[in-house]
Amino acid sequence: MAVPPAGTLRFIEQPAPRPGVTVPVAPGIHWLRMPLPAGLDHINLWLLEDDGGFVLVDTGEATDATREAWLALERGPLRRLPLRLIVLTHLHPDHAGLAAWLQDRFGVPLWTSRGTYEQLQLLTREPTPDELAQRRAQLVHHGLPQVTADEMLPVLEFKVYRTAVSGLPQVERFPENDDTSRWGGRDWRWLATGGHAYGHLCLHSSGPQDILICGDQVLPSLSSNVSWNPMVDDANPLGTYLADLERLSRIDRDTLTLPSHGLPFRGVTERAQELRRHHEQRLEKLLDACRTALTAVETLPFLYRRQHEGFKLYLALGEALAHLEYLAAEGRLERLEDGGVRRYLTRA
């Protein structure tokens, strides 16, 4: 959802690179852009010079346009400095899509969190009938009519995910929160930052120049989707997201922040505060709406002006549930179970 910055962010003046071209954003750090077929338009990737090669952060989606851009890079900057390691911030296809293909092509190791790898394993295979039935039952439990839940089955199979990724990469190492890696004379600290995606990692280097590679955790003009998702081990993803956002907001405000979508900027502290306020406003709307007991599906008109269907409905419902479950965990909403359906009621 668009949440424009309130004017406190300072964007770098460097124009965004075309696909297949790199531009430096800091000593030894290069910016790449890959096209995206729908919605977001592009994803930013980062190349970190290290030991006669590059560490690549994220890969782009498995589309012909992105593969072509990689072939152009292979003929250009990668001739001088080949890829030597791929790291993934998270599992979404614009980030992890070409991981298996690039690994195959360049024969390089890949690192990502254990949580990301578990999700990649789950989503790169077809679900079993039982798994599919469980996912469908969750939608009905949260208020979706049976007919609509049936229409959602193709979404719940995540077939689209498998067409947007090139397969399951092999993972050499699973970095954990606060681990450090030394590349190009800099120490990079891995920060586990959940809520938007299970297993999401950021990378922070505090010297010589303070730099944060933040994946989708903090975006300069969008609020990242934060969804409750029964397929992951996090019952309160908004709680996780806000706690991890708080950690990022304590990073120096002059840190050069490299987001996956939009332009590099300074002002991560202010942006984290804006995003927190955005979520607080949604929580207030839900507390107000749930003075009459509502299912998650029934809360959607209070959060969104337009009606959603298909995958967008899945995301909207997940986002509503993340907020409702946050309020329930805080004891501000009561969960009422009746006839296999859950409703939420604001506590007096």
Residues near Zn ion, by CB under 5 A: 92, 216
Q: How far is the CB of 199 from Zn ion (least distance, A)?
A: 11
- Hey, what's the torsion of the CAs at 58, 60, 62, 66, to 10 degrees? -140
Residues contacting 211, CB < 8 A, separation 6+: 26, 29, 186, 204, 205, 255, 256, 257, 258
The minimum distance between CB 216 and Zn ion, in angstroms, equals 4
Rounded least distance, CB 61 to Zn ion, Å: 11
> Closest CB to Zn ion among 25 and 88?
88
311: exposed, middle or buried (Cβ count in 10 Å: 0-12, 13-18, 19+): middle
- The helix (run of H) or strand (run of E) holding residue 35 is strand 29-35
Residues 209 and 142: their CA atoms lie apart, in Å, by 47
When the beta carbons of 30 and 92 are compared against Zn ion, the nearer one is 92
CB of 149 to Zn ion, least distance (A): 25
Q: Which is nearer to Zn ion, 201 or 297 (CB)?
A: 201
- Nearer to Zn ion by Cβ, of 155 and 333: the residue is 155
Nearer to Zn ion, 139 or 219 (CB): 219
Helix (H, G, I), strand (E, B) or coil at 42: strand
How many CB atoms are located within 10 Å of the residue 222 CB?
17
User: Judged by CB, which is closer to Zn ion: 222, or 287?
Assistant: 222
Q: How far is CA 39 from the centre of its chain?
A: 15
How far is it, in rounded angstroms, from Cα 206 to Cα 246?
18
> Cα angle at 45 between 196 and 231, to 5 degrees?
25
Per 3-state DSSP, what percentage of the chain is helix, strand, and coil (rounded to 5)?
Answer: 40, 20, 40
- What minimum distance in Å lies between the beta carbon of 93 and Zn ion? 9
Shortest gap between Cβ of 145 and Zn ion (angstroms)?
29
Minimum distance between the CB of residue 224 and Zn ion, rounded to whole angstroms? 6
Give me the sign of the Cα torsion angle 310, 316, 319, 325. negative
Is 49 or 216 the residue whose CB approaches Zn ion more closely? Answer: 216
CA angle 196, 197, 198 (to 5 degrees): 130
**Is 50 or 216 the residue whose CB approaches Zn ion more closely?**
216
Q: Minimum Å distance from CB 90 to Zn ion?
A: 6
Query: DSSP character for 61?
Result: -
Task: Give Cα separations from 160 to 146, 229, 310 (angstroms).
Answer: 22, 17, 12
Q: Which is nearer to Zn ion, 33 or 92 (CB)?
A: 92
Among 14, 26, 25, 32, which residue's Cα sits nearest to residue 76?
32
Least Å distance, CB 126 to Zn ion, is: 22
Pairing of strands 180-183, 186-192: antiparallel
